[in-house]
């Protein structure tokens, strides 16, 4: 069941989305060679608490930290650690979800550490572009599968693949609500969009031809590419408006 948000709820979602984006803006200057993902987690946690919000990942289905930090071949759900120190040429996705006054805001960006190779920079920039291609088709009356279709259409010119095992999601009072937003074309997403729906668009794009991923059997969370290739991701929370869309997690 997809919930339609009323104007009061939309106001709260705008505030939560804005705070989530502010956390990313806040953490950006700390993402440098030598910083640990554990330190990034601590800094974000304290910033979120100071702003009277709750870090949604903490204890969510047993997740042990306040943010996700996914480095290089980690696709998503990386667990921050003080042992995990960023080095030159790394890429790291920082995924922030806050709960403010009972409503969630969810956004992530992939940051480049030091001087990354040109092909890695391309992967990161095109993944952000892919997210925007998916967002830009959003309006009432279209089918949700247009989002995945636009992402795939953009990505097909490159030797990349779109991760299939994880998608975007409806969001509101719940962290993960209906619908499941696929980042590739599928009739599973033959769902008509209506004004007041709010969901995330958060494509994970792997370098190379394999979209396959595996989940760590040690921690039960860390998702990596199966073949060790790099993976990038960007995420926004998006509202369907009267005739278009609005990004609620803009920087
Ligand atoms: N923020 C992630 C998303 O975009 C979900 C993280 S779940 C966690 O949906 F438990 F790993 F935090
Ligand atoms: Co999300
Ligand atoms: Co997220």
Distance 209 CA to ligand 3 centre (A): 24
Q: What's the gap in Å between 235 CA and the centre of ligand 2? A: 7
Burial of 148 (0-12, 13-18, 19+ CB in 10 A): buried
- Which regions of 208-250 does DSSP assign to beta strands (E)? 213-215, 223-225, 231-233, 236-240, 245-247
In this prediction, residue 203 has a pLDDT band, given cuts at 50, 70 and 90, of very high
pLDDT-derived band at 212 (thresholds 50, 70, 90) equals: very high
- Report angle CA 176, 182, 188 to the nearest 5 degrees: 100
What domains are there in the chain, each with its CATH number?
Answer: 7-247 (3.90.230.10)
pLDDT, tens only, 20-38: 999 999 999 999 999 999 9
Q: 249 with 132: CB under 8 angstroms?
A: no
User: Would you state the structure tokens that stand for residue 204, as one six-digit string?
Assistant: 């994970």
Ligand 1 close to Cβ of residue 180 (< 6 A): no
Choosing from 21, 56, 108 the residue with most ligand 1 atoms within 8 A of its CB, the one to mutate for a pocket test is 56
pLDDT at residue 2, as a whole number: 98
Q: Is the pTM of this model over 0.95?
A: yes
Query: 185 near 164, Cβ under 8 Å?
Result: no
The model's pLDDT over 156-185, given as tens digits with 9 standing for 90+, comes to 999 999 999 999 999 999 999 999 999 999
Determine the average pLDDT of the residues in 39-50.
99
Q: Which two tokens stand for residue 148?
A: 């995945």
What is the best residue among 16, 57, 80, 171 to mutate for testing ligand 1's pocket, by most ligand atoms within 8 Å of CB? 57
Q: Which ligand is nearest to the CA of 67?
A: 1
pLDDT tens digits, residue range 92-135? 999 999 999 999 999 999 999 999 999 999 999 999 999 999 99
Does the beta carbon of 199 lie inside 6 Å of ligand 1?
no
Q: Whose CA is closest to 125, among 234, 16, 229, 13?
A: 234
Query: How far apart (Å, rounded) are the C-alpha atoms in residues 38 and 76?
Result: 16
Atom of ligand 1 nearest to the CA of 200: 4
Span from the CA of 188 to the centroid of ligand 1 (angstroms):
22
What's the pLDDT tens digit per position in 133-154?
999 999 999 999 999 999 999 9
């Amino acid at each position: 069941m997809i919930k339609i948000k009323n104007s009061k709820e939309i106001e709260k979602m705008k505030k939560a989305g804005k705070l989530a984006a502010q956390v990313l803006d806040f953490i950006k200057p700390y993402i440098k060679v030598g910083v640990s993902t554990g330190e990034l987690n601590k800094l974000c946690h304290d910033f979120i608490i100071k702003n009277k919000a709750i870090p949604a990942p903490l204890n969510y289905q047993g997740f042990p930290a306040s943010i996700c930090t996914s480095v290089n071949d980690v696709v998503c759900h990386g667990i921050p650690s003080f042992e995990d120190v960023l080095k030159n040429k790394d890429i790291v996705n920082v995924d922030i979800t806050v709960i403010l006054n009972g409503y969630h805001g969810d956004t992530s960006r992939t940051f480049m550490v030091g001087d990354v190779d040109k092909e890695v920079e391309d992967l990161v920039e095109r993944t952000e572009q892919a997210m925007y291609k998916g967002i830009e088709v959003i309006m009432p009356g279209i089918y949700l599968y247009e989002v995945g279709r636009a992402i795939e259409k953009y990505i097909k010119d490159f030797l990349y693949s779109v991760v299939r095992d994880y998608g975007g999601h409806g969001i509101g009072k719940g962290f993960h609500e209906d619908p499941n937003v696929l980042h590739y074309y599928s009739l599973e997403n033959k769902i008509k969009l209506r004004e007041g729906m709010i969901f995330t668009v958060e494509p994970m794009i792997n370098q190379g031809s394999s979209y396959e991923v595996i989940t760590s059997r040690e921690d039960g969370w860390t998702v990596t590419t199966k073949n060790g290739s790099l993976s990038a991701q960007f995420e926004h929370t998006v509202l369907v408006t009267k005739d278009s869309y609005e990004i609620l997690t803009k920087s």
